Structure 1
């Protein structure tokens, strides 16, 4: 059976490789930040820096966005990041939201899971959207910031040399930046940057040039990934088939994407040759059998085929002098649980505000070590979950295979074993051991509950008065690319609102003069929803309860949405000390 390959229902733009004006083979401009790799992680980082007024240059080897669906699931946490970057609406308009999935053993459903979703949420727990669409949405926003973000297309890195700062006696931790050796077409040239961020993927040129190695586990099992075009009214959900009659001995994953594109991943047997397995004549019958078993009878056409091997690997550190690593250049996470692109986007969010503070001169470069500490910890957490999912999806040994068959066989009639089939979907990682938590002087013992320093805020519906009209908002609407103090007051009358604002105004002015992004938000608990108040109103009291907040409570939130510190009786002075200590430690 042979079918012609169809193009994606997508029209990418293509870009020429242009060399800047050179002096003796060098770009005469000294760059603050050079980002190697213009995929989702690199572009997210460039946008995060731009929101802080920091210029960057993106160096991309290709001539446009990627080919193939690749990363296809964007989590709520990533959507929250895109919301703070002002780009989330495109994702919500294009992506297909979903809240759970089903797993089948042979022809019987054995497990069903649902991710957290209630009326308090402003964003879905997950959306399906192909990586080329992710990149295009980010690129559209990047091009709107052309004054701060420059892109060098069709430009490859061929080498890198780091420089120690003057008087540092060769110590690269006292960085003097780095020089990148580049090639655009037939032209070899050099660029100097104070900071270089490697977002250049699993085969990172920067990582190889520095002689760094990923450590961890590589799994032998391989999956064929196929994108097809199929018009179907089937609901969007994650579908997993273990040992299906259509493909005995295989595990199959199915995801619906926008524009009638479907993603089908199926496991190869140990005795199958990966090169032969991706030949169309071998792929088409397998895909047809999967669709037949699902009851999908519509016409379909193949679009893209590749093969994937699971890895659970990470660098030991993500900062090496003037060079920082993010995304797949820093860690390779199995696809099961959709932690790959999402963890890279979280890397960019964490690094963006810290690097911006360093470039803008308001923080010590030591702040970047906390990026490495926090994101290496997060990577190990993600790898732990990803390895458990991988060992179930693609058993690495006879013992794991025996365990899986036992679980699947029992699951139909024994609910107690069904959670073992859980794919462990990605979730926000709490930096519970972050050095920044210590710098903040945590007084969490004063609280009975609520998010401790290092964790991400929960979502909650609130109300706010705008031009005399009370409107519905969410807690995440209050956060931006800045430190945010959530200050809880006694009630919603106008006098209290004015007094609160007056108390915090000097700090806002002081930090603004220092170039530190900050705002204070006044929250009150008042069921009457006084429309004359300028405060944010927790009209149901839910946020107060979740954060164990009483009058005088202050939560200080970092620019990446993680809790930095909290006080039962907070003050502007304590908030200023916590921010100052974090930026200078």
Structure 2
């Protein structure tokens, strides 16, 4: 239920499917169904590892309307690896915190974690069409690897098993079949692929609805997340505001109990409420409406994301409430987890069983996101009278009682730690560390300098050195370079066909080794990793820690990497 009232200041280019050779059946290693955020990101992540994809997208333009608007630091780190972050930062509006009001009184001012060690902001606002356009342009540059077919749709899935999936596709009058080794189902909340395989999402669907309105408004209000509970302009409701590029503002407000959604979303009913709110906050200048839609919060997921040769990702796999901005961000995390595993299987470097860990880890992540999203939803839109009473009590006290303000915090998305993942090294010495990233956790960032003679030293950040599709051994060093046994472990893994890099990390005050290494000029990396000379981390291609050791354990490093890629051997005790 969408209403477009005025054109956005954006060029929605119409695109068409490229001409085919007319063959009745094609064969491809990977077909991505859905050309939204999840599908396009998956295609780019696979292309970065030399895997060709065909992307089937039903529309002929990027999405219309603001939709997902907040891109997290974790997502930006993923896009930085894929070469897209620069384009996003060029258009997006970074922000670090926000404010919440109860009626007309400020009751919370929160700030997300951010310090001098970070390369990227904690959050960037932009309309989803800007994100999709940046991804499309990156896909078009990879045209030899990514075949993006607009105005095309899957109409049937005649077969699907562990040997592959057969898809029936139509594009205008063109009808053909694709035999795919693997299919990534990224076709959104109303997923045809999910329906075709007879799968259902499970969880909680909330009754409360929100109207979403995009407006053009020129104002000097800063970029931050703004929320009003029971505001004088709309008593009994909750209102959210986010600033976006091009002087576009997103306004979400909760419908009152008993309101007819079909009537409530009509412009004649929406615009007076928007005006009342703008008047209340002192924004009395000219504004114009662009787009109106309605939203219902859902907390739903499949319980398994791998079915035969079809892998589900994004909204096709799970629907997360918008509060805390976990929707698109969790989709980006899904395909980052999936892409390196699928590429390793396709390149013959890993067993098919590795893909079971995609389902294991991302279903766990979905449940973590759903738990946080449900807490936020129940505060933003109380589902019962008891919840409403509790919220009013918290909001009434928050202005004068700092101890209760944390209950208002919107719980913005953060990277999920796979603490109990089957991929974590069993002998990881997490208990020996007082801090730093444990097994399953995403690497923290820190400023470092890359020394790779004969090239000049290059300033950057540690996470810049997690290359797509490759493992990384980080050895914290006293200045002599990686010891012979760590170098030997690196060489052993390479001989076994594992794509892995070795990087010593040296304190700024230490003597520098002769080979390629990272210099830690401020000591931030050593502090963040709770590292002393000899500490060693094995990092997965998605930036999660596989294991860590206080002193180098060459055999442990080799076992951890080969166990990830060949899980069936580790279960049976065989050798890869």
Matching residue of 1:20: 20
Q: Aligned pair 1:449/2:435, yes or no?
A: yes
Aligned to 2:572: none
Find the counterpart in structure 2 of residue 527 from structure 1. 509
Match of 1:271 in 2: 258
Q: Secondary structure at the residue paired with 1:143?
A: helix
Deviations 1:301-322 (A, max 9, x none): 1111100000000001011110
Q: Is the 8 A contact 1:162 1:176 kept in 2?
A: no
- Alpha-carbon separation, structure 2, partners of 1:61 and 1:506: 51
Partner of 2:548: 566
- Aligned residue pairs total 563
Q: Is the 8 A contact 1:4 1:301 kept in 2?
A: no
CA distance in 2, matches of 1:26, 1:301: 49
Partner residue of 1:489 out of 449, 473, 477: 477
Q: TM-score, normalised by structure 2?
A: 0.94
Query: Hey, what does 1:168 align to over in structure 2?
Result: none
Alignment CA distance shift 1:515-1:45 (3 Å): farther
Equivalent runs, 1:222-233 vs 2, <5 Å: 222-233=209-220
Q: How does 1:150-549 map to 2 (within 5 A)?
A: 150-163=147-160, 172=161, 175-438=162-425, 441-465=427-451, 469-481=456-468, 482-491=470-479, 496-497=480-481, 500=482, 511=493, 516-527=498-509, 534-549=516-531
Decide whether aligned partners of structure 1 residues 193 and 515 sit closer, same or farther in structure 2, where only a CA change above 3 A counts. Answer: farther
TM-superposed CA distance for 1:298, in Å, is 2.1
Give the superposition deviation at 1:512.
5.2
RMSD: 2.0
How far the C-alpha of 1:12 sits from its partner, in A, is 2.1
What is the deviation of 1:443?
Answer: 2.9
Partner of residue 537, structure 2:
555
Contact 2:188 2:315 in 1 (8 A): yes
Match of 1:7 in 2: 7
Q: CA deviation at 1:295?
A: 1.1
CA distance in 1, matches of 2:456, 2:350: 40
Unaligned regions of 5+ residues in structure 2, if any? Answer: 568-576
Q: What is the CA-CA distance between 1:18 and the residue it aligns to?
A: 4.4
C-alpha contact (below 8 Å) 1:242/1:251 kept by paired residues? yes
2:40 to 40, 43, 50: 43
5+ long unaligned stretches in structure 1: 164-171
Contact 2:478 2:510 in 1 (8 A): no
Q: Does 1:144 align with 2:120?
A: no
Task: Give 3-state SS (helix, strand or coil) of 1:442's partner.
Answer: coil
- Report SS of the residue matched to 1:435: coil
Q: The residue matched to 1:151 in structure 2 has which SS?
A: strand
Distance in structure 2 (CA, Å) of the matches to 1:161 and 1:507: 47
SS in 1 for 2:472: strand
Query: Distance in 2 between the 1:321 and 1:441 partners?
Result: 32
Q: Tell me how far 1:533 sits from its aligned partner.
A: 7.0
C-alpha spacing 1:437/1:534, structure 2 compared with 1 (3 Å) = closer
SS of residue matched to 1:436: coil
> What's the secondary structure of 2:154's corresponding residue?
strand
Residues 470 and 531, structure 1, Cα contact 8 Å, conserved in 2 = no
* 1:357 and 1:516 in contact (8 A); partners too: no
Which whole-Å deviations, capped at 9, do the CAs of 1:82-124 have from their partners, x for residues lacking one?
0111111011111100000000011000111110011111100
Give the one of 67, 85, 89 matched to 2:86. Answer: 89
Q: Using a 3 Å threshold, how does the CA distance of structure 1 residues 302 and 201 change in structure 2: closer, same or farther?
A: same
The question of whether the paired residues in 1 share the 8 Å contact of 2:237 and 2:254 is answered with: yes
Name whichever of 545-554 and 412-421 sits farther off. Answer: 545-554
- Between the aligned partners of 1:389 and 1:4, the Cα distance in structure 2 is 29
| Partner SS state of residue 433, structure 1 | coil
Question: Can you list the C-alpha shifts for 1:190-240, whole angstroms capped at 9, x where unaligned?
Answer: 111000111000000000011111000000000000011111121100000
Q: Measured at CA, do residues 213 and 223 of structure 1 come closer, stay the same or move farther in structure 2, by a change above 3 Å?
A: same
Q: Kindly tell me: are residues 532 and 556 of structure 1, through their superposed partners in 2, closer, same or farther at Cα, counting changes over 3 Å?
A: closer
Q: For 1:524 and 1:4, how far apart are their aligned partners in 2?
A: 56
In the aligned structure 1, how far is the partner of 2:335 from the partner of 2:483?
Answer: 33
- What is the distance in 1 between the residues matched to 2:375 and 2:237? 18
Measure, in 1, the Cα distance between the counterparts of 2:404 and 2:563: 48
3-state DSSP of counterpart to 2:284? coil
Q: Which residue of 1 is the match for residue 574 of structure 2?
A: none
